[in-house]
């Protein structure tokens, strides 16, 4: 039976990428060596890293004013590295609190400077994206989280900001077009849309590198990674390789414009069913619903066990909601085919016929 992986992360990867990566785990480029054991200084992997960077720049419209870095530590490390590098002593940074990961970023930033939380939807269990807040022009930067994996909300437009925007795009990176001109720094753990767990993509405007003037440990200084083409230390070789394959797949599927169309179609199918089906209700404000993580609750919780059996029998995997929200969460990242979403919707409809 075919399975459809709706996991929030690590998320689904294209089948063709998994198959190509598996071949090269056994024999990388006909070398009789595994990609797991080749030197990161060898010409074959240097070519992989160069292509990965080139694809990031091509797909995202990233020009030479920005450094493209492949780092370890996940987005969680960037919660600290961003203020460490960009926020000088005595300065303040502006943050918008839209969920668990934004809250963690705020906590880390407070270790390095003053933090002004401009707006928060915490009192409503992060069910919407705050709007209409004023961005202080004396802040070092504005930090946003573009998509909130746990709560199923997403920024559909970025504000016009008088200061550089630092954005955690971990769960919707390269799922839609964006204007790099609006951002000073973007970071994203790869394991939702652009690769496997283990590599973090950082795109930082070069004139902001070293802005804090702080003397930093070598591994936490963006300058060292930028000056050494992400090879200041041994990089995460396999995750970078799989990211490169995923970016090739993304380019072949129409880039950001093509994938946005696919993602909007998938999300519409599922949200339309949630709104029409009497046994389910959405959790996020409609105008802020995520195209990546669809959160919904049962209207008859006593039937949950029966519904879980039905989706499992249909090959639908990993739709249990986060404990902060409950119910169900269907993560429909780039590689989720439309047919997978349709299978879930078909189960929901059949469930309503039997229990409505």
Q: Which residues are catalytic?
A: 101, 168, 192
What's the rounded Cα separation, in Å, for the pair 264 and 43?
40
Q: Edge-to-edge strand order for the sheet containing 328-331?
A: 280-282, 293-298, 328-331
What's the rounded Cα separation, in Å, for the pair 282 and 289?
9
Which is it for strands 183-189 and 165-168: parallel, antiparallel or unpaired?
Answer: parallel
What are residue 215's phi and psi, to 5 degrees?
Answer: -80, 120
Which is it for strands 66-71 and 92-97: parallel, antiparallel or unpaired?
Answer: unpaired
H-type helices in the chain, by residue range?
15-26, 43-60, 74-86, 100-109, 222-227, 237-252, 255-276, 304-313, 338-355
Retrieve residue 46's tokens. Answer: 């240097």
Between helices 338-355 and 304-313, what is the axis angle to 10°? 140
Which helix (H) or strand (E) element contains residue 120? strand 114-120
Longest dimension (CA), the chain: 64
Which is it for strands 165-168 and 114-120: parallel, antiparallel or unpaired?
Answer: unpaired
**Are residues 130 and 99 in contact, defined by beta-carbon separation less than 8 angstroms?**
no
């Amino acid at each position: 039976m075919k399975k459809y992986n709706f996991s929030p992360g690590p998320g689904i990867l294209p089948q063709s990428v998994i198959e190509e990566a598996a071949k090269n785990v056994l024999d990388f480029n006909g070398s009789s060596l595994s990609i797991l054991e080749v030197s990161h200084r060898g010409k074959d992997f240097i070519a992989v890293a160069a292509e990965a960077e080139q694809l990031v720049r091509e797909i995202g419209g990233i020009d030479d004013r920005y450094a493209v870095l492949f780092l370890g530590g996940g987005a969680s490390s960037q919660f600290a590295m961003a203020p460490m590098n960009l926020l000088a002593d005595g300065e303040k940074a502006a943050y918008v609190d839209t969920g668990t990961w934004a809250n963690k970023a705020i906590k880390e930033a407070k270790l390095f400077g003053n933090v002004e939380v401009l707006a928060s939807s915490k009192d409503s269990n992060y069910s919407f994206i705050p709007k209409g807040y004023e961005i202080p022009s004396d802040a070092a930067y504005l930090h946003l989280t573009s998509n909130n994996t746990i709560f199923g909300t997403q920024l559909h437009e970025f504000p016009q900001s008088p200061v550089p925007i630092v954005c955690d795009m971990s769960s919707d990176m390269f799922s839609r077009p964006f204007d790099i001109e609006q951002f000073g720094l973007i970071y994203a753990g790869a394991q939702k849309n652009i690769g496997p767990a283990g590599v973090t993509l950082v795109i930082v405007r070069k004139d902001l590198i070293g802005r804090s003037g702080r003397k930093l440990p070598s591994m936490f200084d963006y300058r060292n990674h930028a000056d050494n083409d992400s090879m200041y230390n041994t990089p995460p070789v396999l995750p970078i390789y799989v990211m490169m394959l995923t970016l090739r797949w993304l380019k072949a599927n129409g880039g950001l414009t093509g994938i946005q169309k696919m993602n909007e179609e998938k999300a519409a199918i599922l949200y339309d069913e949630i709104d029409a089906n009497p046994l389910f209700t959405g959790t996020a404000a409609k105008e802020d619903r995520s195209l990546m993580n669809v959160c919904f609750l049962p209207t008859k919780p006593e039937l949950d066990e029966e519904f879980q059996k039905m989706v499992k029998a249909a090959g639908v995997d990993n739709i249990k909601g986060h404990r902060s929200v409950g119910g169900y969460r269907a993560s429909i990242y780039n590689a989720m085919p439309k047919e997978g979403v349709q299978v879930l919707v078909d189960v929901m409809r059949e469930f309503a016929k039997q229990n409505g």
